[in-house]
Amino acid sequence: MKIETRKMRMKRHIRLMPILIMLSYVLFFSLLIVFDRSSNEKLTIETVNRYDDTLIINGTPYEKYPEKIESKLPIEIDLDMTTFKDEDFLLLRTSLQDLFVYIDGVLVYSKSFNNENHPYASLWHVIEISEGETLTLVVYSPYESMNGLINDIHYGTLSEIYAYIFQSHGLQFLMGILLNIIGLFIIVISFMYYKNERSNYVYFGITLLLISYWIVSESRLLQFIIGSPDVLGSLSYITLGIISIPMLYFFKLSSLKKYDLVLNVMISVSLFVTVMMLVLQFSGLAGYFESVIFAHITMILEFIVVVGLLLYEWLKKQSNEAKKSVRVLGVFLIFVLAEFIYFLIGRFNYTSWFVIVGFLFVSVFMLYDYLKYINVYTKKVYEASALEKLAYTDYLTGANNRLSFEKRLEENLQSIEKNLYLFYFDLDHLKEINDTYGHNVGDEAIIQAYGVITQVFQKNNCFRIGGDEFSCVLMNLDEASLNDKIVSLKEGVTELNLKSHYQIDVSIGYAMTTNEMKSQALMKLADDQMYENKRNKRR
């Protein structure tokens, strides 16, 4: 018992060794990055300047950026142009706002969604600065909570501006791309290899795709990929409307199969809310920003219901799968509530990060669960494949056995295009070889005879159906090819006898059909002809 315990411990330590090495590697370089303050070889990137001079907003000077200006009218912001250099560009981000830029009263740049009849989007604006004394920004939003919002104003060269944007928001963008790749991986793997097993993971992959689209749209870098105002102004809101649908399908096919009706109702509600948001936007009754609160409320209520059902399954039905899901969704629900609260109080700079972190938590957990499932499923498939191979393979010759032969014959009889030929072979003089040289040599003779047959009729068409009996099934064979194969077989046997200290011969019989003939009848015809060939040799 002690020896077995030591072996088990040793195996466990060996399995843990790669993990310990990787953790040590990550820990070492993490500590090095944190505590090594040497900057001799570190590359530095010049960044933009934040405009920190006095802001004149609606005629009132401000020494620092106000959180918000309470006004229902357009906001005018005057900047002193002596701050800027000749090569500088202005960088400004508007939050669902129209923007007009004037230099000494002359309009030099404008972006108005109201005139273009597009959904309002939050955009970056890179504006070339020409000569002048006063630069005036006029911003306006039809949404009261956004109208007085003034984001930081930056300036610098184009390279500095782009470096700043990517440094500030690149991580969130990369997180979205990573989730997109993971989602596509899960969908492709599920469709290619696990069509009939746990198809709910396809919906998990779709959920990850939607999450990735939402994260990318919230990363403030989508504008560098897509220039369509409709996409920029719609993607985030529409994704929020439908993002729970594939997740609900996921639960329908896994831990909440009994609650099909309830989940279908929630899916229908999500679709209705999304369609309603589209109708309100394009009818001009309400923009996405105003109607997205219905998507937030719907998503929160759906997750409360799902968590409630999972709790019931866990506590009343003792479902381990439900227990696992409750813990994950319980944590996610905290992030969703935080997102909703920050949205209501107008702290728009932080809202998306709560849901992003929540989604990442769920995604990492579900990916881990999926990888565990793939590992278990792959082992099952491998074991089943090994057992199937044993069931259909002859242990002596490595040929397909009688069970495989009968299965192939039935399949081919149902898909005849021109004709089907069934060949039967019987090894002559095997008893004499066994009696004279022993059964080991007899086994060798069987293997050699099978080798000659497969050289002529191809290995995948040939089967060992008895002790010294073989069969081959060929489709669409013409008479000339038939005669050539019989001649080639006889020549192969003759060549084998010249090399061996024992002599063998092969009796052959065959039958042909052009329709769905019964397999037993076809086998009897081939078998009868084979024995007729054997009797003729003895005369």
What is the predicted pLDDT for the residue at 98?
Answer: 92
Say which residue, 89 or 382, is predicted with more confidence.
89
Cα 448 from Cα 537, distance rounded (Å): 21
- Note the maximum CA span of the chain: 124
Does residue 40 register a pLDDT over 60?
A: no
| Cα–Cα distances in angstroms (integers) from residue 243 to residues 216, 273, 344, 369, in the given order | 14, 12, 21, 20
Cα 212 from Cα 223, distance rounded (Å): 16
Lowest-pLDDT range, 18-32, 348-362, 471-485, 507-521? 18-32
What is the predicted pLDDT for the residue at 3?
Answer: 43
> CB–CB of 363/208 below 8 Å?
yes
Cα 321 from Cα 230, distance rounded (Å): 41
Tokens 């279908």 sit on residue: 264
Task: Look up residue 148 and give its two tokens.
Answer: 């007085």
**Helix residue ranges per DSSP H, 414-478:** 430-437, 439-457
Task: Look up residue 413 and give its two tokens.
Answer: 């009889």
Cα 68 from Cα 65, distance rounded (Å): 8
Cα 204 from Cα 248, distance rounded (Å): 9
Cα 322 from Cα 325, distance rounded (Å): 5
**Is 99 strand, coil or helix?**
strand
Cα 450 from Cα 359, distance rounded (Å): 60
What distance lies between CA 246 and its chain's CA centroid?
14
Cα 203 from Cα 148, distance rounded (Å): 41
The pLDDT tens digits for 238-281 are 999 999 999 899 888 888 888 999 999 999 999 999 999 999 99
The pLDDT tens digits for 391-441 are 788 888 888 899 889 888 988 888 887 789 999 999 988 888 898 899 999
Q: Which residues of 362-396 are buried (b: 16+ CB within 10 A; e: fewer)?
A: bbebbbebbeeebeeeeeeeeeeeeeeeeebbbee
H/E run at residue 504: none
- Pick the closest to residue 360 from 157, 175, 193, 88 (CA basis): 175
Please give the average per-residue pLDDT across 382-395, as a whole number: 78
What is the predicted pLDDT for the residue at 300?
Answer: 86
What is the predicted pLDDT for the residue at 328?
Answer: 80
Task: Look up residue 375 and give its two tokens.
Answer: 């590992």
Q: What is the CA radius of gyration of the chain?
A: 38
The pLDDT tens digits for 114-146 are 766 689 999 999 998 888 888 999 999 999 888
- Pick the closest to residue 278 from 266, 263, 264, 294 (CA basis): 294
Please give the average per-residue pLDDT across 150-160, as a whole number: 91
Torsion of CA 236, 240, 242, 247, to 10 degrees: 130
> CB–CB of 229/119 below 8 Å?
yes
Cα 146 from Cα 128, distance rounded (Å): 25
Does residue 312 register a pLDDT over 60?
A: yes
Instruction: Assign 488 a pLDDT band (cuts: 50, 70, 90).
Output: very high
